[in-house]
Structure formats: structure tokens, C-alpha cells
A and B are shown apart, each in its own frame.
Chain A
Amino acid sequence: MKTLVIAEHDNASLKPATLNAVAAAQAIGGEIDILVAGGDCASAAQAAAAVPGIGTVWCADNAAYAHQLAENVSLLIAELAAGYDNVVAPATTNGKNTIPRVAALLDVAQISDIIAVDSPDTFKRPIYAGNVIATVQSSDSKKVITVRTTAFDAVAAEGGSATVEAVAAVHDSGLSTFVSEEVAVSDRPELTAASVVISGGRGMQNGDNFKLLEGIADKLGAAIGASRAAVDAGFVPNDYQVGQTGKIVAPDLYIAVGISGAIQHLAGMKDSKVIVAINKDEDAPIFQVADYGLVADLFTALPEFEGAL
């Protein structure tokens, strides 16, 4: 059995989500290769070659793939998939964007967002915003899978020596072109990869007050997140959103500040190892999942917390 893992990368480096997807591929079993599709992506391919246990790293380096346009990359993956039993990708926005097109081109189902591998054809995945876990069995000969990265512990990034082979195939559909991007620049760790996350909700009242979280985040080396309510209210940008339809996080420590704890938010953080909730409403549902709850006004508690660290 052979599995092709689709790398998550920014051309220069390999993103940790790839290592979680490789872990899921290992749980399925068999040989594993990695595809790095991008533009000027040789260094990302080199990083992928260092992942232990990988046979071949396919490097498709072409301007047509530089921005991960789904129309182009899906044609490439569907072509390469001919030599594989499984295609596995992390359920990042890239994976979610491209992989269903691959499945449709191959005329097979996609199994989205798996959290466990029961056997090579049977998987667990959350449905209904994580209120229910379904066990599903695929009857397709080729399986196309996206992986919830927080559910699989990352494999090591170093120690392997896979061969890197160039892929000559160029698929430029001409259907879409990249115009621009606004990427948040931050010295803090990435939300989905941070070991500590501190998130603010509607209780923060405005965007300026998120500064109260920054000092604590700096001291703890934490990433900053937000509830949907805070994003919808315009306090912080969309890429802060933690929840079923935003980012799924599972850090060692998750601190929820001024967040009531809607189901949608809980679905994005309830697998965190330790959860702290700070909220002035003692009946807030967030306290039902918190290991440590502090009923307090965040505007006095946060400066005190920062001072105590």
C-alpha cells in the first residue's frame, strides 16, 4: 500500500501540519511519499526529505503552483495519484480548498477531517460541530483523506534522507490567477502550532483591549486567538478565529478570556490539555469544560495575571 502526503508549506519552509498528516499516513500503514507543489519550493522539498520514513519527495516546482491555486494543483495531484492507494493532506485551508477537487477528478469520495484511523479503510471523524463522532468506512479503491492535525501527534522533522525527484508535469488551467494577499505578520507562534493559546471573546469589548492579552502572550510564548463573536464584531482579523469553522487548536494550555463558550467555539479548543476560563459570568458554559475557572472581571484579572507571571 502506498500513500501520497500533500505537503503544507510556504515554498521556503515546510509547515508543521505536514508532520501531522504524515503521522496519519503512518497510522494507515504502508509506504509514504510526499508531494511538495509550489513555486521556488526547493527548500520546502529539502525539509520534507528530512522527515524520517519517507521514500520519495516529489517536487513540482512551477509558477503555476506558486500560490496553491486549487484548479492547477488538483490536476497535478490527480495525475500523481495514479501510483498511490491513498492521498492524505492536512485539513488546512489549502487542503480543504484543493483536495475535494482531487477526489472529484478521481471519482471517489473524500473523507474529511479524520481524527483516528481504525483500519486502512475505516476512520473516525467529527460531525455536527464535533457533537458526534462518526465511524465511517470507505469502499473506494483509492482513498482521499484530509486530516485534523490536532488529532495526530507530529512525526519528527529531522533524521530522514528521502530522495527528492522533480515532477515535470505542468498543469496551468488558466482558470484563476493570484491577485494579492494580506498575511498577518507576527513574532508570535502560529495559532495551530502554539503550545499556549490565549483567546479573547466578546467580553474584550473592543480590539484595543486585546493589548491586555499581548503582554501575557509575550510572557508565555503564546499565540493569540479569538471567538467568532470577537471576529464578527471586528475586534481582530479572521485568522484569529478558533472554532469549528475557524481554526482547530489543541495546545498544552488554552486560556479563554471573556468567552462564553458557544458549542462552535468549544469544538475548536476542547482537546486542549489544560483549559483556563476567565469570565465574569459564573454560569458561562465555558466553565463546564475549564480545568481552572476564574470568575472575575477580565479588566482587573488580566493585568494582575500578567504581573504574576
Chain B
Amino acid sequence: MKALVAVKRVVDYNVKVRAKADGSDVELNNVKMAINPFCEIAVEEAVRLKEAGTVTEVVVVSVGDKSCQEQIRTALALGADRGIHVEVEGRPEPLEVAKLLKGVVDKEAPQLVILGKQSIDGDNNQTGQMLGALTNMAQGTFASQVKVEGDNLHVTREVDGGLQTLALKLPAIVTTDLRLNEPRYASLPNIMKAKKKPLDVMTPGDMGVEIKTHVTQLSVAPPPERSAGIKVEDVAQLVDKLKNEAKVIA
């Protein structure tokens, strides 16, 4: 079966992002960019399914401006077979990204679509589920295990109370949680090979999608700062402070 993996270019997870002084946006000049960590887990899962013989081809897609081809190449270096870049300027909202991905799904007809559960910039946690609704596919979100069982996909999900396993009809959508796998590092030969793998460019027009704005960011601000308190000498002083100063224990 064919697997489609969506990846997003985001600020590297080690960067502490700050609001610009004028509050207009976050400061993104000269910051290191990378593949979203949850998307990296999605690529790894697809590649592992290919190595296990379940998946025959891994197609990686990214929606964004030209620079996101860098992240597509990263995914190709990790083992994806070919790339699709849907070229869009600016920062399309999750619903618009889902509509563009639906266009790619319609064209490629994958049996399995794997996405990260959320991107670490917008923290929306929406795109996979929206794609599910638009394509009328089953979804296994926040996955910690994925197994093909006959005609079904069994997905174990990390939920509030523990773990839940669902059987999904194929084609299906999976969004990854942290413990699905530990992504590999790309080897130098694979990075070189990735440069020669095919990468097609599409536009929203190719898919008949007109990008709309539903939500406008008015301003950004730093969160209220919490200041450091005091260091206590020992456990006795800690218990005393909690009882008599903070009054949070009886």
C-alpha cells in the first residue's frame, strides 16, 4: 500500500521563541528551522512500515513556501521515496492545509496518511482530523502503536485515561504521538541520495483550492512571568512554609 506523510517546517524545538517588541508577531528572523518533531515521527513510522513490507511507497508532502523543500529533502533522506511540495505563501490555516492535503490525497490515493498530531509552532492539533472529515476517512489520532490487521488498521491511542485501541477501515489517517517510535538520523549517503529523489511542485490552483482567512492574529505577547521564589534550607523549613506561609497543606 501507498503511504502519504505530511511534514511541516517549523522553528527548531530548541529555540525559545519570543514575541517581537511591538507585539505584531513572533521573532522568526534568523532562527533555526527544522522538520516538526511529530512529523519526523510520522516519516519514521511510514519508513518502518515500508521496511516491514506493509507499505510499498512513501510519498512525503509539505505545504508552504519554497523553503519547506528543505524539510521534504530531510524526509527523503530518512527514507521517503518521493516528495510533493504544495507551494503557498504565508501561513495557511489548518483548515486550508487540510483542503490542500485532500487535493493530494485525491491525486495519489494513498491507503494510509500519517501526520504529526500537532505542530510545535501553532499548537493547533487540527490538520489530521480535518483531513479525515474532508476525505471521509477513519482516523487514529495520538497514536502510540500502528498495526495492519487484515483489511483494518489497528491504532493504539494515548488518551486522557490511558490507552485506547481502535480498528480503522482503510484508507485511514493516523496522527502521531511521542511514543510511536524514535526517529533515526539520516546518514550522509542517504542525504546525498535524497537530493536525486523526485520532488514535484503543485499549487492550490492545481487542486481547485482557494486559500481563505478565517482567523486573524491581532497581537502576540509574552506570557505572564513567574518569578523565582526562595530556596529553603531543609525539609522542615519546606513543610513549615507550605503550612504557615503558602497555607496549601494542613
Asked if chains A and B come from one complex, the reply is: yes
Q: Which A residues lie at the B interface, using CB under 8 A?
A: 67, 69-71, 74, 92-94, 96-105, 107-113, 122, 126-140, 173-184, 192, 196, 220, 228, 231-232, 237-239, 244-245, 247, 252-253, 263, 270, 273-276, 282, 287-296, 301, 304-305, 308-309
Interchain CA distance A131-B133 in the complex, whole Å: 31
Pairwise interchain contact A133-B137, C-beta atoms closer than 8 A: no
Pairwise interchain contact B133-A128, C-beta atoms closer than 8 A: no
Pairwise interchain contact A291-B246, C-beta atoms closer than 8 A: yes
Interchain CA distance A282-B216 in the complex, whole Å: 43
| Distance between B37 CB and nearest chain A CB, rounded to angstroms | 9
8 Å CB contact of B125 from A112, A304, A308: A112
The answer to whether B188 has its CB under 8 Å from any CB of chain A is: no
The contact sample of 11 A-B pairs, CB cut-off 8 A, is: A70-B129, A97-B129, A104-B134, A122-B218, A128-B121, A132-B17, A132-B223, A137-B216, A179-B154, A270-B226, A292-B242
8 Å CB contact of B139 from A67, A70, A135: A70
Q: Kindly list 12 other residue pairs between chains A and B, CB separation below 8 angstroms, not including A104-B131, A173-B138, A237-B162.
A: A70-B132, A94-B160, A101-B130, A110-B130, A128-B26, A133-B220, A139-B215, A176-B167, A180-B164, A238-B162, A292-B241, A309-B249
Pairwise interchain contact A109-B215, C-beta atoms closer than 8 A: yes
Interface of A is mostly: mixed
Interface string of B15-39 (1 = CB under 8 A from A): 0111100000010000000000000
8 Å CB contact of B130 from A104, A238, A270: A104
A263 contact set on B, CB distance < 8 A? 16
Contact-residue bracket for chain B: 35 or more
The answer to whether B95 has its CB under 8 Å from any CB of chain A is: yes
Pairwise interchain contact B123-A292, C-beta atoms closer than 8 A: no
B246 contact set on A, CB distance < 8 A? 253, 274, 291-292
Pairwise interchain contact A295-B165, C-beta atoms closer than 8 A: no
Pairwise interchain contact A129-B123, C-beta atoms closer than 8 A: yes
The answer to whether B248 has its CB under 8 Å from any CB of chain A is: yes
Interface string of B196-239 (1 = CB under 8 A from A): 00000000000000000111111111110010111110111011
B231 contact set on A, CB distance < 8 A? 282, 287, 292-295
Interface string of B105-144 (1 = CB under 8 A from A): 0000000000001101111111111111110111111101
